Amino acid sequence: MTRITAVDVYDLRFPTSLSADGSDAMNKDADYSAAYVVLRTDAPDVEGFGFTFTIGRGNDICVLAAQQRAEPLIGRSVEELVGDLGGIYRELKSDSQLRWLGPEKGVEHLALAAVMNALWDLAARQAGKPLWRLLADMSPEQLVDVADLQYLSDVLTRDEAIAILAELEPTRAARIAELDASGYPCYTTSAGWLGYSDDKLRRLCQEAMDAGYRHVKLKVGASLEDDIRRCRIAREVIGWDANLMIDANQVWDVPEAIEWVQALAGFKPLWIEEPTSPDDVLGHAAIRRAVAPIGVATGEHGMNRVLFKQLFQAGAIDFCQLDSARLASINEILAVYLMAKKFDVPVCPHAGGVGLCELVQHLSVFDYVAVSGSLENRVTEYVDHLHEHFVDPCIVENGAYVLPSQPGYSAEIYETTLAEYAFPDGTYWRQARQENPVVTTQRTSG
């Protein structure tokens, strides 16, 4: 029997704010970071890797929360844990004292996501399969057993969930073969960060088209005049057959969102992303009614499955952008995919950041293979940042994710990266402090 002997959690931070990568109307100085969990065992080469994603300060808080969340794993049998991923999920999430601090939201939920992501990675490695394949090899009943359906029975019962999965089970293999040939379609956000110059925007839009993408996303919401100019540049480069999406990162109140989006309607955006508070189900529904046929997209800050349930119930969104490191891993994500299927809302997962692309490729493949069976209106985010730090990085060719083939959840980060970007004592951060004592992510730019 193999046992968990230790859980190491690393505070990794990358100095992305220096290049304005990741800049938008809400987040001007993001230092992409990860609270990175490593499950150690008493067997050589049996490990699990997972993380949650943050943007700098406070990553240390998530690290501590993940250490605390993972405590009950120490000494437990790996076979037992990976044999009952629903059970360990329910045990960890039910800690009533930690639950009080959410419940099921904020730092404690991010920490649970990091720990459960590592357990799912461990399970896939133990099975010798990429995570999407581990899931695609599970029966409808097995999948529903691990899915978190608590608080959802008014829209999705266990029987309905099983029926959804059973419908596509006989044809899973055909869709796997299809994705194996063509990959899963993605779009790029790399072109449109708010801090980039017009020239850089023009060049990156052209590069995206040249690389085979059919979608380009721009950050908006700081200045309407700038947004109009930048949308015009994007349309000049990508034409009107390709898709343009816009993303406001929550900066508007509801009436302001409606007015601003209507002012950009001439550029025919496919969707407006995060027009207002991510918590505002009824606000998103009102915006959607007002700006149609422009779609409404949100979900990267969608805190839990109960929020998504209501977004679906209220007809508030056209695109569901769940986040693989904010929802509590596969257990909760499965529930959101199942509801999305029932309400016929396409899921286009949020990615970028640190390693989110590595995770979401597994989710999108599984969705097509086993849940939605559709690629219509589905396109998964891709951002070409920081993949070099991953042992099994995602591969994008011709605007599509290539099917992951290595065992696990593609979450493992190189030891050399840990040594360099661990905060505050990795070699990068030591060097940065020597050069400039105030260059740390502790309030670099208030």
Residue reference for tokens 């939201």: 105
Q: How far is the CB of 121 from its own copies (least distance, A)?
A: 23
Q: Give CA–CA dist 12/10, Å, rounded.
A: 6
Q: Give CA–CA dist 417/425, Å, rounded.
A: 12
Q: How many CB atoms lie within 10 A of CB 312?
A: 21
Nearest to its own copies of 59, 364 (CB atom) = 59
Nearest to its own copies of 230, 326 (CB atom) = 326
Nearest to its own copies of 55, 422 (CB atom) = 55
Nearest to its own copies of 68, 142 (CB atom) = 68
Residue 125, token pair as written in the block: 């490695």
Secondary structure element (H or E) that encloses residue 61, with its range = helix 59-70
Q: How far is the CB of 100 from its own copies (least distance, A)?
A: 5
Percent helix, strand and coil across the chain, each rounded to 5?
45, 15, 40
- DSSP string for residues in 360-411: HHHHHHHIIIII----TT--EEE--SSGGGBSS---EETTEEPPP-SSB-S-
Positions marked active-site: 219, 350
Q: How far is the CB of 63 from its own copies (least distance, A)?
A: 10
Nearest to its own copies of 305, 387 (CB atom) = 305
Q: How far is the CB of 304 from its own copies (least distance, A)?
A: 7
Q: How far is the CB of 309 from its own copies (least distance, A)?
A: 7
User: Which alpha helices (H) appear in 128-244, and where do they start and end?
Assistant: 131-136, 140-146, 158-168, 172-182, 198-210, 224-238
Q: How far is the CB of 405 from its own copies (least distance, A)?
A: 32
Nearest to its own copies of 269, 278 (CB atom) = 278
Max CA separation in the chain (angstroms) = 64
Under a CB-based contact definition with an 8 Å cutoff, are residues 18 and 49 in contact?
A: no
Closest CA to 354 of 117, 22, 19, 116: 22
Secondary structure element (H or E) that encloses residue 38, with its range = strand 33-41
Q: How far is the CB of 329 from its own copies (least distance, A)?
A: 17
Nearest to its own copies of 86, 315 (CB atom) = 315
Q: How far is the CB of 302 from its own copies (least distance, A)?
A: 11
**Interface positions with its own copies (CB under 8 A):** 26-31, 54-58, 60-62, 64-65, 68, 71-72, 95-110, 150-154, 250, 253-256, 276-283, 286, 301, 303-304, 306-307, 309-310, 313-314, 441-443, 446
Under a CB-based contact definition with an 8 Å cutoff, are residues 390 and 410 in contact?
A: yes
Closest CA to 311 of 131, 155, 117, 421: 155
Q: Give CA–CA dist 179/185, Å, rounded.
A: 9
Nearest to its own copies of 101, 375 (CB atom) = 101
DSSP collapsed to 3 states, 240-297: CCCEEEEECCCCCCHHHHHHHHHHCHHHCCCEEECCCCCCCHHHHHHHHHHHCCCEEE
Q: How many CB atoms lie within 10 A of CB 405?
A: 12
